[in-house]
Amino acid sequence: MKVIRICLQIGILFIFSYIGTYIQNLFHLIIPGSIIGLILLFICLTLKVIPVELIEDGAGFLLGILTLLFVPMTVGIMNYPSLLSWQGLLLLGIVVVSTAITIVISGIFTQRLEKRTEKKKEESECN
């Protein structure tokens, strides 16, 4: 029964991706359709149009196998040996630096958000 539920939830996620692709093709947007679909899903989840439980197991399953989805891309890189030479090292350096910057900025943002939440919690307890 759980397998069927996961398949249906992945189907819901696919529908959002399809709708995003349709909107992208309809309006000839630069943004990829999958990103538009994710934005639509985010809006629906935020406005509580779709409950989180409706996609929770399917999204968890996809996150669990996410590394397997990158295997074809990694194998495809082998067709471009220039990426594995000096250009590859430069590319690797850029990826490492940008990842580090992203982690630092996300950490700072999360800490500020947590402090703001704690401050609001303390203010509500005082009142």
pLDDT recorded at residue 71: 76
DSSP string, 87-125: HHHHHHHHHHHHHHHHHHHHHHHHHHHHHHHHHHHHHHH
d(CA 39, CA 34): 9
- Domain spans in the chain, listed from the N-terminal domain onward: 1-69, 77-127
pLDDT recorded at residue 121: 85
Task: Report whether 16 contacts 37 (CB < 8 A).
Answer: yes
How far is Cα 110 from Cα 104, in angstroms, rounded to an integer? 10
* Chain mean pLDDT for the chain: 89
Judged by DSSP in three states, 41 sits in: helix
Burial 74-90 (b: 16+ CB within 10 A, else e): eeeeeeeeeeeeeeeee
pLDDT tens digits for range 60-98: 999 899 888 777 776 777 777 766 677 778 888 898 999
